[in-house]
Amino acid sequence: MKKGAAMWTATVTSIAFILYLWLVVKILLFKFGPIEWKALFASMSLSLSHPELIWERLLIRGNLIPFHEIRNYLANMSEGVRIVNFIGNVLAFLPFGFLLPFLHMQKDRSFWKTAILSFLFSLCLEAAQLIASIGIFDVDDLLLNTTGGMLGYIGYKLCRLVLVYRPQKSNVVQERTVH
């Protein structure tokens, strides 16, 4: 790839990744409503000054049993909200796994590094929901989000395969098209 094209790709990818991060934080943490900073900081301040509240929310409302909610999603697929939540958690992290390797093309970020970073980003979002009391901590969300990041990485690899490793036309084919 030429230096100018590589620089343009890196810039566009960086901007897209930053916009994606902002959008996923906005949608997953604050849904589609406005961000009320004053209420958010008050809630976080209360939680951090009384850690027992965090623990209580986690035990009462949180899901710490892997695959518990996923089994519920699969058993009740006819409920639209469950389908949206199930598929949405995977889809929300597809861009993460797809765009992240573009940011470090020289290092060719591996599948497992992307999976771990997807998990850690998801964990940060789940922890923020718990601490700010703006959602429910769900271990299944971690699994679904990480799966989305891994699928995004597979998409990245498939795109690279198609775009970078295009087979060259043989001389015989080129000669036939000229005549």
pLDDT for res 179: 54
Residue 109 CB neighbours (<10 A) = 18
C-alpha distance from residue 145 to each of 112, 121, 148, 169 (Å)? 14, 9, 5, 40
pLDDT of residue 30: 87
User: What is the per-residue pLDDT for 164?
Assistant: 76
What is the pLDDT at residue 81?
A: 73
pLDDT confidence of residue 169: 59
Q: In which element (H, E) is residue 42 found? A: helix 37-49
DSSP string for 110-165: -HHHHHHHHHHHHHHHHHHHHHHTSS--BHHHHHHHHHHHHHHHHHHHHHHHHHHS
Which residues of the chain register pLDDT less than 50? none
- Going 127 to 130 to 136 to 139, the CA torsion angle's sign is positive
SS (H, E, C) 63-123: ECCCCHHHHHHHHCCCCHHHHHHHHHHHHCCHHHHHHHHHHCCCCCCCHHHHHHHHHHHHH
What's the pLDDT score for residue 178? 54
Q: What is the pLDDT of residue 117?
A: 96
Tell me, what's the pLDDT at 89? 94
Which residues, 6 or more positions from 43, have their beta carbon under 8 angstroms from its beta carbon?
132, 133, 134
Residue 166, pLDDT score: 61
How confident is the model at residue 1, as a pLDDT?
Answer: 57
Give pLDDT, residue 36: 86
Q: DSSP character for 1?
A: -
Closest CA to 28 of 127, 113, 143, 147: 127
